[in-house]
Structure 1
């Protein structure tokens, strides 16, 4: 068939900086440890809300390895329990953004010229704002809270997924077997489900991993501004914000939640880059 493409075009990539396998392994271990803390915080730490004014603002050591805050609450317990809220927002919003963006991109690519133009112009409007600003606008409308922050981050990330899915869908549509299926009169939605979606969505898995780090940064930033989860819910961003008033008396209050955010985002970034290298190299 004239103009058909039988396989994806092989692009020669210039050699770049590769992620060492050890770095990827370490990043995977760090992320796994943080994920365990999010899944079962009660097994790793005590109550994050237990108040003991007698030990308020104690330095790290002894029964409180990360010290205590101004109410005598154990900072270690709050950091461990905060992993659940932070990763819930990061992973949940990224998955929702991927699903929303995938549907958005597939509809744009397969819905005809008019639908494609409208869908992409809407995406352009969203992408014209920085992701953090778009999330901030959504939270300003919906109000603070875990669910609203998750929705806000989803709205900020979904247009990027939609654009990438649209581009890959247009590429896959040129494959010979896809063109043949469409020429035989098979329903476009069936072709999209059986032939296009697997070739479009599977390579996006690496992008999902990388965007989890971005989602965590956005969610923590909103929490730092007081627009995140409720005050009773431990969260790394809100812990950083609350520690500002006590830096002169207990500067370690800001260190441990800050290290938690940094370690999580860096490990996810390194892990995502490692997966990208493996994906580009392919099987040997």
Structure 2
């Protein structure tokens, strides 16, 4: 007797765990974003070795369109190579993004873990400080501080670092409060382990997932903030090429030299988009329950 084939009643797109695992491994947006971020980091590290001087001027070739006489992305109003300036701008974006995000992460992690574990008056005081920080828009506060201190690379990193810690503090505080009632924490308290050791050896390793997710997404936010400050002329000095300053210069030539604004704008868009996609992947890695595709 011939066996009758049973119809496949499984929902489309969820036929087997192996198919889901294959789709997860072949996440094309994640692969593309990771590859693009790798190119940005590689350009930031090795760019000066392979491109021309971003400050070299040639007024005879000013506003040359892309592909003209060895200038792959054209030249600007002073005859400077746009590709070389994009590569130089990537160094600023990577440096500011990573450094300021890590600085925010350190500040926010300390405040969040201490607030969640200690509780009581310390918790209330730190959370009121967080509320005060939230009352001021980050970019507006950065503009005020930089306007008072003056623009500069270190100033931008410090200002963006000390104004972006709130999200770390709030999320990690909630995680620590839930961990505080776990058996391993209570056992350490009963054994007389000091509070600072509990926070370092038991709390911090268990909040690495949320911390890594926020850190990844914060890099994109910082890069956008630095570009906005440079666009307004209050970020990195004009002598250092940045994507924000290139956008500010290019807006004056949108009708005659579109590439001056389109090239840095596209680089900024793709970089931040790739970072956000990578941040979603980090979140899915540390919390598989959020994976819905």
Q: What's the TM-score, normalizing by structure 1?
A: 0.88
1:38 has 2:44 as partner: yes
1:72 has 2:82 as partner: no
1:225 has 2:237 as partner: no
Deviation, structure 1 residue 160: 1.3
1:144 has 2:151 as partner: yes
1:87 has 2:75 as partner: no
Q: Which moved more, 1:131-140 or 1:70-79?
A: 131-140
Aligned to 2:27: 21
Distance 1:157 1:123 in 2: 11
Distance 1:139 1:200 in 2: 33
1:199-222 deviation per Cα after TM superposition (whole angstroms, max 9, x unaligned): 123431122111111111111101
1:208-219 equivalence runs, <5 A: 208-219=215-226
Q: Are the counterparts in 1 of residues 171 and 210 from structure 2 also a CA contact under 8 Å?
A: no
Q: What's the TM-score, normalizing by structure 2?
A: 0.86
Deviation, structure 1 residue 281: 1.3
Q: Choose the corresponding residue for 2:132, options 125, 140, 156.
A: 125
Deviation, structure 1 residue 180: 1.3
Which ranges in structure 2 are unaligned for 5 or more consecutive residues? 1-22
Q: Choose the corresponding residue for 1:51, options 53, 57, 74.
A: 57
The number of residues matched between the two structures is 265
Runs of at least 4 residues of structure 1 off by over 4 A? none
Q: Which moved more, 1:214-223 or 1:101-110?
A: 101-110
Deviation, structure 1 residue 132: 2.1
Secondary structure at the counterpart of residue 204 of structure 1: helix
Q: Which structure is higher in RCO with an 8 Å CA cutoff and minimum separation 6?
A: 1
Distance 2:51 2:141 in 1: 35
Aligned to 2:247: 240
